[in-house]
A and B are shown apart, each in its own frame.
Chain A
Amino acid sequence: MYRRILRQLLYAAALILAVLVLNFLLIQLAPGDPAEVIAGEMGGASAEVMAAIRQQYGLDKPLPTQLALYLGRALQGDLGMSYFYNRPVVDLILSRLGPTLLLVATALGFAMILGTRLGMLASRNPRGIASALVTVLSLVGYSAPVFWTGLMLVILFGATIPLFPIAGMIDVVKQGGPLVRALDIAHHLVLPALTLGLVYLAQYSRLTRASMLEVLGADYIRTARAKGVGERQVFGRHAFRNALLPVVTVAGMQFGAIISGAVLVETVFSWPGLGTLAFQSILARDYPTVLGILFFSTLIVIIANLLTDFVSRLLDPRLAGGR
């Protein structure tokens, strides 16, 4: 058990290192002088700044030395300087990480809870209304571009029924204590989280339905029914718990896609997270920040994968024995 965890952590560390090497290679492969790439083409960096970059990154040294320098600094938590925002990249990213995590967690929670419920409901009657709803929902959820769904919600709630704010995370004018602030953020969170959540609500409900239908055909369900367990128990306990495993596995595997979706949704709703930052720094050609965001979001995916693995083991003790 502990050896397994240790092995997984080592593997995660290797992946993190690989992402750093990839970042380094991307800077090298980009057309033009690496120093200019790092300074950002839009900045029109002064001669001193360029000299400082050359010195700091060791750009006059051979490539392996440069890579070692880069990795050394990255492992000490230094991902370089954003010459556009004039702040260290890590500070910049940490200040934007919270809103993104809040958005992703809310959207996922909403999709997970509602999606599995809906899928379970649909599995009671494969030809019923709930099943039809799941089918339509999953088709729309898969086919509609997430940014477009967001913009349609903006039209609906911005012009037709102005119930929810359509941009930003807090109302600057609003005064009050932490509770008022939290409510304000929650109010702003509704539309972005709904937009991002709908895509995964569609997927999870379809997956839960399929996996419930499969599990319901299993022998132990027949045994449970034969010994007189009520239908509620059969569905909620015996079947649902076993049907949840594939949903959790898929949810974990999709984490990278969820972050990608968050980039688009944040841009639509001006949500002040990593996605908006990524978009702004790409427009500004602020490559250290862009690559820093790529690194951090990969880190989030790796951590999410570790957590998913852990949750799967809780759901299915057979996996805990190691494989």
Chain B
Amino acid sequence: MTAPARTTVPAARGPMAEAWDIFRRSPSAMLGLLLLGLVILMTFAGPFLYQVDPFEIVWAPLTPPGEEATIPLGTDNLGRDILAGLIEGGSATLAVGFAAAAITMLIGVVIGAYAGFYGGIVDDMLMRVTEFFQVLPPLLFAMVVVTLFQPTLVNVALAIGIVSWPQTARLTRSEFRRIRTLEYVSAMRAIGAGDGNIIWRVILPNALPPLIVSATLTIGMAILFEAGLSFLGLSDPNVMSWGLMIGSGREYLLDAWWVVTLPGAMIFLTVLGVSLVGDGLNDAFNPRMRER
């Protein structure tokens, strides 16, 4: 993030500091950050504070929350501790969510950058590929990939990344198309900078704000995606995750509401946190749009 800082007007503070100022003053953005912080804290510190194996059978099946002091959130259909599952389940969901979002951004930004920068036939060909991936129904395609190959966490993250990148590519492309015509890009060209230099060190830093917002929303989408796959039982069965808990508890839904409701609420709060942060970033980077 080292934009060329050779401005003639001395900037008192960077644009990032200014954005943070706006972000900080938005209650909903701070709520989102708080939610996200709590979920991450629970995932990382939880296993040390509450040392129960989420796969171990600890009590009678379908014990409601609050009935046993040692099992605050009750047990599932096999008698496993729900609270332990919620703590452990977060790490798989978050890891896949972040990894998938990283893959999405990597593919999307590279393809979008080349298409937007070069235009012409390169743009045409890359956009055809993008359009092809856009007509594939994402969840179905990920389901196929995960079943044909092994449902490991890596494959799940890859499958989600492969189906999610077209939107990022389109956004990156439109930003690059806009920025490449600006004067400072011509100036760089005039002093003899190479294409790679211009793409990655001049245009990309200036295209970052909308890409950061998009990356945040991509994380939220990837988490929902992972939850959907593991709800269908297509994620790694040896790793506890919130979606898996919902999938295996849904048959007992009418007798034991907590087995399904609690992990779902965790997914909801996590994605809510991510999207509030995303909205806050969007407002912070586009102060003029705030009225909407």
Least Cβ–Cβ distance between A149 and chain B, in angstroms: 8
Q: Are the C-beta atoms of B220 and A143 separated by less than 8 Å?
A: yes
Which of A260, A285, A293 is in CB contact (< 8 Å) with B138?
Answer: A260
Say yes or no for A159: interface residue by CB 8 A criterion.
yes
B116-163 residues at the A interface, CB under 8 angstroms? 131-132, 134-141, 143-145, 147-149
Which residues B232-270 have CB closer than 8 A to chain A?
232-234, 243, 246, 250, 253-254, 257, 260-261, 264, 267-268
Q: Kindly list chain B residues whose C-beta atoms are within 8 Å of the C-beta of A155.
A: 253-254, 257, 260-261
Interface 9-mer from A26-34, A82-90, A314-322: A26-34
In the complex, which residues of chain B have a beta carbon less than 8 angstroms from the beta carbon of A235?
Answer: none
User: In the bound complex, do residue A30 and residue B271 qualify as a contact, i.e. CB atoms below 8 Å apart?
Assistant: no
Interface assignment of B52: CB less than 8 Å from any CB of chain A: no
Whether A154 contacts B271 by the Cβ 8 Å rule is no
Known: A145-B224, A145-B264, A264-B139. A139 touches B272 (CB 8 A): yes
Give the distance in Å from the alpha carbon of A285 to the alpha carbon of B261 in the complex.
Answer: 30
> What are the residues of chain A within 8 A of B144 when measuring CB–CB?
26, 282, 290-291, 294
Beyond the given pairs A155-B254, A259-B140, 16 more chain A to chain B contacts, judged by CB atoms under 8 angstroms and listed by A's residue number, are A143-B220, A143-B272, A143-B275, A144-B271, A151-B246, A154-B253, A256-B134, A256-B138, A260-B139, A263-B137, A278-B140, A278-B143, A282-B147, A294-B136, A294-B140, A298-B137
The docked-state distance in angstroms from the alpha carbon of A264 to that of B140 is: 10
Complex CA distance for A152 and B262, rounded to whole angstroms? 11
Residues of B within 8 A of A298 (CB): 135-137
> A193 to chain B: closest CB distance in Å?
18
Assuming the contacts A26-B148, A158-B254, A264-B232, asked whether A256 and B264 have C-beta atoms less than 8 A apart, the reply is no
Q: Is the CB of A260 within 8 A of B147?
A: no
Could you say which of B136, B228, B232, B246 contacts A256, with CB atoms under 8 Å apart? Answer: B136
- A145 is contacted by which of B137, B257, B268 (Cβ under 8 Å)? B268
Select one of B234, B253, B291 contacting A126, CB under 8 A. B291
**Residue numbers in B under 8 Å from A159 (CB-CB):** 254
If over half of B's interface residues share one DSSP class (helix, strand or loop), that class is named, otherwise mixed; here it is: helix
Q: In the complex, what residues of A have CB within 8 A of residue B131's CB? A: 15
- Measured CB to CB, the residues of A under 8 A from B are 15, 18-19, 22, 26, 29-31, 37, 126, 139-140, 142-148, 151-152, 154-155, 158-159, 209-210, 213, 253, 256-257, 259-261, 263-264, 267-268, 278-279, 282-283, 285, 287, 290-291, 293-294, 297-298, 301-302, 305
Q: Hey, which chain A residues are within 8 Å of B145, CB to CB?
A: 26
Residues in chain A near residue B13, CB distance under 8 A: none
Residues of A within 8 A of B275 (CB): 139, 142-143
Q: Which of B263-292 contact A (CB under 8 A)?
A: 264, 267-268, 271-272, 274-276, 291-292
Contact status B292-A148, CB under 8 Å: no
Please determine whether A147 and B246 come into contact, CB atoms closer than 8 angstroms. yes
| Separation of A210 and B243 alpha carbons in the complex (Å) | 33
Residue contacts A-B, CB under 8 angstroms, 28 given? A19-B135, A22-B136, A26-B148, A37-B148, A140-B272, A143-B220, A143-B268, A143-B274, A143-B275, A147-B246, A151-B250, A151-B260, A151-B264, A155-B253, A155-B261, A213-B291, A256-B135, A256-B136, A259-B140, A260-B137, A260-B138, A263-B139, A264-B139, A264-B228, A264-B232, A282-B143, A290-B147, A294-B140
- Which of B134, B137, B227 is in CB contact (< 8 Å) with A294? B137
Q: Which residues of A contact B114 (CB under 8 A)?
A: none
The 3 closest A-B pairs by CB, nearest first: A260-B139, A148-B264, A143-B271
Q: Contact: A257 with B246, CB < 8 Å? A: no
- The answer on a CB contact under 8 Å between B292 and A126 is yes
Q: What is the distance, in angstroms, from A113's C-beta to the closest C-beta of chain B?
A: 23
Asked if B165 is at the interface of the complex by the 8 Å CB criterion, the answer is no
Docked complex Cα distance between A253 and B170 (Å):
12
What is the CA–CA distance of A213 and B290 in the complex, to the nearest angstrom? Answer: 12
With the chains together, A19 CA to B135 CA distance in Å? 9
Compute how far the CA of A294 lies from the CA of B142 in the bound complex, rounded to whole angstroms: 10
Nearest A-chain residue to B145, judged by Cβ:
A26
- Bound-state CA distance A283–B264 (Å) is 23
**A82 to B176 CA separation, bound complex (whole angstroms):** 47
A278–B142 Cα gap in the complex (Å)?
12
